Structure 1
Amino acid sequence: MTLVTLILLGSLLLGGCTQTGSTVPEITLDQAQEKTAAVVDGFISAIDPATVARIDDVRDESSGCRGSDVDPQGLVRQWVTTRYVTFVDGTDALTLLDRLVADVETDGWTLATSSDVNDGAGQRVNLSAPEEDRAGYGVQMSTGAYEGRPTVLTISGSSPCFDVDLDDLP
């Protein structure tokens, strides 16, 4: 490999999280917050409201994408929105999660990973957004049956990583 090729490859690896250019449009902190919350709320709206006891906002904030050793000022950010959906007694969350995944797959979302948790009593899935206006967005959902606890589905959406200016940070 030539020196130019090595330098180009190194810059691509170091810049992998910024996702700017042709695949993911540049976004602002406010746009990332708005779209990530809309993605999570869209997933929640696909759930039968008769099965939902309450919805709790857990997290709605940005965080650094690269770590302080690479990006000490935190100028490469990602927005994360997390909600807990607590179901009425008797709701089979695993069946509901399977149905929800099938529904969003018809909307273009792709199941990236799926794994059992809590000895098969629960499941965690990761979905990737379609390559449209939500390119680079992802959703993780997990649920499980835990003795003596209400059935909860955790839905966490994340934006692609993006660059911000120091002036944009709170």
Structure 2
Amino acid sequence: MESPQQTLAAWQAREAELRARLREPGISRPDQIVDKSGLQFFESMFAGELPPAPIAQALGFLLVEVRPGHAAFQGRPQAAHYNPLGTVHGGWIATLLDSAVACAVHSTLAPGKAYTTLELKVNYVKALTDKVPLVRALGDVISVGARVGTSEGRLIGPDGTLYAHATTTCLIFDAPIAR
């Protein structure tokens, strides 16, 4: 089992590897993604062919891994994310978890399919501050059908501390075709 320092070093190395090849944040054009499965979409992003989402830059987090039914984002808690009480605002945590659980569903979609979050439930279990150098939101699919996908996620530190957990329900639909 890795020590927290080894885990943190591995997480930092993965982030550096990705940032070296990622494009500037932006929005993919429909013609760039219409024929891609959810997994192919993320693989194209990791290859630097498609841009990462602008919100990741705005809030200081990054998609770091995707496989069928799983997605992981990581971010650095910063004082800029604080609420007036001196801890990371629940909205930052919710956004990180929403990204992980929704992208876990997205990773399972066939070409021509899209999704949107219908419901997000977050449980905050431990206060988060900038003393934690990095956190990861891990999202894993529970079930994906023709119209609805559900998944669950956890926000953890490099030492395994659980800060929050979440579940989501996503609506799956035919993607609008724009060529």
- Taking structure 2 as the reference length, what is the TM-score of the superposition? 0.28
Which of the pair has more CA radius of gyration?
1
Q: 1 or 2 for the larger relative contact order (CA 8 Å, sep ≥6)?
A: 1
